[in-house]
Amino acid sequence: MKKSNVIGLTIGIVVVIVTVSLICWFAIKPVPTLIQGEVEVKSIKISSKLAGRIEQMDVKEGQQVKKGELLFVLSTPEVEAKLRQAEAARNAAGAQSAKASRGARIQEIEGALNMWKKAQAGVELAQKSFDRVKNLYESGVVPAQKYDEALANLKAMQTTESAAKAQYDMAVEGARREDREAAAALVDQASGAVSDVESYISDAMQYSPIDGEVSSVIAEKGELIGSGYPVITLLDMNDLWITFNIKEDLLPKIRIGSVLKAYVPGLGGAIELKVDYIAVQAEYATWSATRTKGDFDIRTFEVKARPVAKVDGLRPGMTVTVNWDEIR
């Protein structure tokens, strides 16, 4: 055999051996257990308890907003009309309460006094007439009918005088305590109605409750919305977490407080996460057994972890992976 043929055969054998060795190495090399999660964020839907037309929209999608910044304003003419009605009712109740507290006016007291004096004069006159008729009746000059008429007239005048005196006393003393309390209660009731309507009107102007980012604007200026309709969705970018769905046979490696090393493809870098939530109950997802004997179905549990430090550029929806084999 020629020397060149021997060399060629040797090289061929070496290539075959190396190829087979590489195939075997890749075949037996363990595949890393990569767990994929997704970045989630706290979202707040901004709505009003009023129904109305959007009069002013001060934000747009993607805009950064500060806490207390005005987002939108509703036009509510019906509620404003109700406020005017409630204020008028409160003013009327206040006037009634003031009148009850002050008592009658001087002119009313003087009028009641005059009526009482007039009634007193009527009693005096009726008494004199009765005395004369009585004497004549006892002398047999007038019949019993005249005596009865004089007596009835006297009693009627006495009753009138008593009523006039009661009117005068009431005017001097003012309204009864019960009336004053009732008037004050009406004022409180009317004031409560005004406050209730004012709270509705204040809800027509919606402000941002957090520092965040506008994710979506569902209704625009000029549109009519119903009570409780979500107009704007805000994202709190300072409250991010990553949600994983972990098979139950992998759970023993972690617990609340465990620190995980994760990779974010969208940022091209690694971050550290701290587990702060493990679901108490398994989720619906089930990994079915591949064998009918000696194996069992596997359930998944939701696990949430938050970045240990603020990660610039991390956005909701980004993919995050963790090599479970590296967890110790």
Q: Are 113 and 162 part of one and the same domain?
A: yes
124 within domain boundaries: yes
In a domain, 9, yes or no: yes
Same domain, residue pair 97 and 175: yes
- List Cα–Cα distances, 121 to 83, 117, 168, in angstroms: 54, 6, 16
CATH code for the domain of 275: 2.40.30.170
Claim to verify: residue 156 and residue 258 sit in the same structural domain: no
**Torsion sign over Cα 143, 146, 150, 155:** positive
Regarding whether 160 and 92 lie in a shared domain, the answer is: yes
Q: What span, in angstroms and rounded, lies between the C-alpha atoms of 288 and 285?
A: 10
Same domain, 20 and 38: no
Q: Both 245 and 265 in a single domain?
A: yes
CA angle 90/91/96 to nearest 5° reads: 95
Asked whether the beta carbons of 64 and 71 are under 8 A apart, the reply is: no
What distance in Å separates the CA atoms of residue 312 and residue 281, rounded to the nearest whole number?
Answer: 33
pLDDT tens sequence for the chain (328 residues): 555 565 666 666 666 676 766 666 555 556 677 889 999 999 999 998 878 888 889 999 999 999 999 999 887 766 555 656 656 666 665 666 565 555 556 666 677 778 878 878 877 888 888 888 788 778 777 787 777 777 777 787 788 888 777 777 776 665 455 555 565 666 566 566 656 666 666 777 889 999 999 999 998 888 888 888 899 999 999 999 999 998 888 888 889 999 999 999 999 999 999 999 999 888 765 555 555 555 667 888 999 999 999 999 999 999 999 988 887 6
Whole-model pTM: value is 0.57
Q: Indicate the number of domains in the chain.
A: 3
Tokens encoding 326: 């590296």
Q: Could you list the residue range(s) of the whole structural domain that residue 106 is in?
A: 80-199
List phi, psi (to 5°) of 327. -75, 130
Residue position matching structure tokens 């023993």 = 252
- DSSP annotation of 26 reads H
Based on the domain organization, do 191 and 242 belong to the same domain?
A: no
Whether residues 4 and 22 share a domain: the answer is yes
- Do residues 16 and 38 both lie within one domain? no
Token duo for residue 140:
């047999």
* Alpha-carbon distance values, 309 to 12, 38, 125, 239, 290 (Å): 56, 17, 104, 12, 41
Q: Same domain, yes or no, for 19 and 36?
A: no
H or E, element range at 205: strand 205-207
Q: CA 220 to CA 309: how far, in whole Å?
A: 37
Residues 87 and 191 reside in one and the same domain: yes
231 in a structural domain: no
**Has residue 280 been placed in a domain?**
yes
Element housing 46 (H / E): strand 34-46
Do both 12 and 37 map to the same domain?
A: no
